[in-house]
Structure 1
Amino acid sequence: MKEISVQELKEKMDKGEDFQLIDVREDFEYEMSNLGGTLIPLAGILIESEKIAKDKPVIMQCRSGKRSAVAIMQLEQKGFTNLYNLTGGILAWADEIDPSMQVY
């Protein structure tokens, strides 16, 4: 599984690179804090897979990186090859990039 660090994600955001960010957490988690990605909770990831780009890098994220890893494994079985897991998830983002971000 391909991974990306929070520092690499921040660089991509700062440079305005073309990628898609998918957040696989639940609604209440997303409302508390998010990185601006598209919310597709893990339970519906296969049902809503048409919302996920196949023609550019897609970074999957959750709270810690575990649910997004599960989502990637499911999607790779459906033929996706452009997926990256955000190592450490939003907890790592809050720890290393934005300490003011509310986490739980």
Structure 2
Amino acid sequence: MRKAILLFIALAAAAAAVQAQPKPISPRAARDLLASDKTALLLDVRTREEFIDVRIPGAVLLPFDAIDAASAARVVGPKDRPVVVYCRTGRRSAVAASTLASLGYRNVYNLGGIGAWPYGTVRGE
């Protein structure tokens, strides 16, 4: 009986870890998600300078090296909120998306780099 309980706990933990993984998302699917779900957040994890230089309209800045439980709670909010993460090339967005997932955010999507976004960008503050 004790082994069965321990096995159940281990399987439940493994299932939770798998569910918490960020998912890749294409630019088109990201655009559609952001248009159809007004609670969805577009998160730019580059530096402030990069954000000011060029960004996807509607994006919110949270540099990847500043993501922790407190900043995520302040910027992202509820852990079930859909979050689309991007950076310049996809490396930082992958790290940031994994960090958010490890903090318990369940609907994290990795868009990758801004260069793949074909729908227009904005510049300046």
Q: Shared fold by TM > 0.5?
A: yes
Matched, 1:39 2:61: yes
Matched, 1:91 2:112: no
Superimposed CA distance per residue, residues 60-81 of structure 1 (whole angstroms, 9 cap, x where no aligned partner): 1111221011011122222221
Residues 14 and 57 of structure 1, relative CA distance in 2, 3 Å threshold:
closer
For 2:64, the aligned partner's letter is L
Q: Which deviates further from its counterpart, 20-29 or 68-77?
A: 68-77
2:104 corresponds, among 75, 79, 84, to 79
TM alignment of 1:11-22, pairs within 5 A: 11-15=32-36, 17-22=38-43
**Cα root mean square deviation, aligned:** 2.1
SS in 2 for 1:43: helix
Share of identical aligned residues, percent?
Answer: 35
Residues 11 and 32 of structure 1, relative CA distance in 2, 3 Å threshold:
same
Aligned to 1:56: 81
Flag the structure with higher helix content. 2
For 1:49, the aligned partner's letter is A
Aligned to 2:17: none
Aligned to 1:67: 92
Residues 74 and 16 of structure 1, relative CA distance in 2, 3 Å threshold:
closer
Superposition deviation, residue 41 in structure 1 = 0.5
The whole-number CA distance in structure 2 between the counterparts of 1:52 and 1:14 is: 18
**Residue segments in structure 1 that go unaligned for 5+ positions in a row:** none
Larger Rg: 2
What TM-score do you get using the length of structure 1 for normalisation? 0.79
What TM-score do you get using the length of structure 2 for normalisation? 0.67
